Amino acid sequence: MRRRTLLPRRDFLALGAAATAATLLPARAFADTPTGDKLHGLSAFGDLKYKPDFTHFDYVNVDAPKGGTFNFSPPNWGANQSPQTFNTLNSFVPKGDSPQRMEMCFDSLMVRALDEPDAVYGLIADGVTISDDRNTFTFSLRPQARFHDGTPLAADDVAFTFKLLKDKGHPDYALSLTHLDDAVAKDTHTVELKFSGKQSARTILNVVGFPILSKAFFAANPFDSSQLNPPLGSGAYKVGRWSAGAWIEYERVFDYWGNDLPVNRGQNNFGRIRIEFYQDRAAGFEAFKKGEILYREEFTSRVWATAYDFPAFTAGKVVKHEFPAETVPSMQATAVNQRREQFKDPRVRQAIALCFDFEWTRRNFFYGSYERSQSCFEKSDFRAAGMPTPQELALLEPLRDQLPPETFGEAVTQPPSDGSGRDRKQLSAALKLLAEAGWKRSGDFVVNDKGGRLAAEFLVDDETFVQVYSPWIANMKAIGIDASIRLVDSAQYQLRQSTFDFDLLSAAFNFSATPTRDDLEIFFHSRSAAVSGSRNLSGVASPAVDALIDAVGAAKDRESLTTAMRALDRALRARRDWIPSWYLANHRSAYWDMFGFPEQKPDFGFPVEALWWFDKGKAAKIGKA
């Protein structure tokens, strides 16, 4: 059971003892990649899997039939998208609630391969050339690229897009473009992206996946969240029918200009993709049982364990299947908002964490299905464990006076409880921490030296979370915290999250398999702490954390990247900026048995709406033809 948020389609060190300031300077972009040559793809480390003459990705079915409708509940989303409602069709601005999967309507310069950790290949661009100083990237655009109205997609549109997203885009886009100096259309089919030299070596892998927008459309329409007017796109789908806040359909563009490109073959198979929006999970599940929704990922353990006994399931029309999760770092945790004075002391944050009895929650709510999360980069090699290695210490030692002492010992973990729901030992430890932080018991509450209570409100947008977090709230009350839960609607939740108007808030995120400095800055860097709409929900603002993020950006190979990420993980866990919660090893998927899908799921992505297809024979057998 979790909220899942996806970064936009970017998807998302053995430095030794000489970990000096010079080490933390930006690495040369793709140091082993030749300059001056036109390249069909880019990868942070090592060779590309696919050669220039590749015909399709290995994980697709190039013979997949086209057509049919896929009505599903997307399990992930990004930027200003919402799973419960929408009031704008602009997915690229900081404000408003837009529908999930608007990104399907827009092409990008390059796209990720889902069976490689960090490789991108040309879509709108048929190639890219890197300058000698590795700060300028020149893209040659395919002359056949078109917007949905038939007008050419030209270099002017690309240059306009990057400038617009830098100045006015959602932080998921704008923060990665901080060090973009200029975007220049050299001619109709050539565009240059010029960076200052302060960018991460791998920034380009993020920005090449950004949607390309129409300059003409936004010359005639405001770039804000005020309109329900579909922006002009160029992708495999376009907006069809919709009802504001209720449902939206994306129609496949049958004469899509990029249908036969190697990066698209075998994908985008459904004739129509429909998304319906529900304010609560129970309503969405009822729609699935009736066949109004055809695919869903199940995030409620009780439902997965006990509720799949409806007629369509017992008749074999609905299938439950667990697909392996992606091998990418993920974080599911509760943000404790350090912008609020009462949460600035890490001992307060640790005390709140000790009030959460995961073992009791797992048994009573999760049917034993979840594991306790400990890391900000769970399910990956970037998860710190044991004592720091010499390579990690080389990064951490220069920052010792800025980091908690726990950073330099065993990696901080959340202690297991006795599973009683009210572990007296842990609650006593929490009360002691509050006292050390200056909060003294006065009647039913703990107060500071001015008599003010320690208040902590948990913000949620689904009744399920009220049930799960209520025992946590009860334990906080037991040690004198004035704790409560506030359930709000989706629009208010989105607004309060983006403006950091909350005390506690839970969220879940996936990072890319090769995290970039830009990815991490959005979550943990001082620069994003005051940027509305950023993912820095805890308000992390630490020069030491910033320096470790720089070390990630400076990594020159996967070994050094892993070292820097583990060092960063140690620091974040010792600071207790987030309270890790739980994770699941697989995708718990349920679907009406009317689809085909590739036998081998790729390791670094699971876009069922792009890779699956409608199977007429299966549909006929269950009366869904």
Residue 219: CB atoms within 10 A of its CB come to 9
Question: What is the β-pairing status of strands 445-447 and 440-442?
Answer: antiparallel
Does the pLDDT at position 279 exceed 90?
A: no
Question: What is the β-pairing status of strands 330-336 and 318-324?
Answer: unpaired
Average pLDDT, stretch 544-569? 95
User: What is the C-alpha separation between 85 and 437, in angstroms, rounded?
Assistant: 41
pLDDT in tens, 398-448: 999 999 999 999 999 999 999 999 999 999 999 999 999 999 999 999 999
Contacts of 275 (CB under 8 A, 6+ apart): 71, 72, 73, 74, 99, 100, 101, 247, 248, 249, 250
How would residue 11 be classed by pLDDT, with cut points 50, 70 and 90? Answer: very low
Question: What is the β-pairing status of strands 586-592 and 318-324?
Answer: antiparallel
pLDDT in tens, 37-68: 899 999 988 789 999 999 999 999 999 999 99
pLDDT in tens, 172-225: 999 999 999 999 999 999 999 999 999 988 899 999 999 999 999 999 999 999
Specify the pLDDT at position 2.
42
For every residue of 453-493, DSSP letters joined together read: B-EEEEEESSHHHHHHHHHHHHHHHHTT-EEEEEE--HHHH
pLDDT in tens, 14-45: 222 233 332 333 344 455 677 788 999 999 88
Does the pLDDT at position 13 exceed 50?
A: no
DSSP 8-class letter at 29: T
Specify the pLDDT at position 180.
97
List Cα–Cα distances, 88 to 226, 227, 484, 512, in angstroms: 7, 6, 32, 27
Specify the pLDDT at position 608.
97
Does the pLDDT at position 7 exceed 60?
A: no
Does the pLDDT at position 3 exceed 70?
A: no
Specify the pLDDT at position 45.
84
Predicted TM-score (pTM) of the model is 0.87
DSSP 8-class letter at 397: G
Percent with pLDDT over 70 in the chain: 95
Average pLDDT, stretch 542-554? 96
Specify the pLDDT at position 33.
72
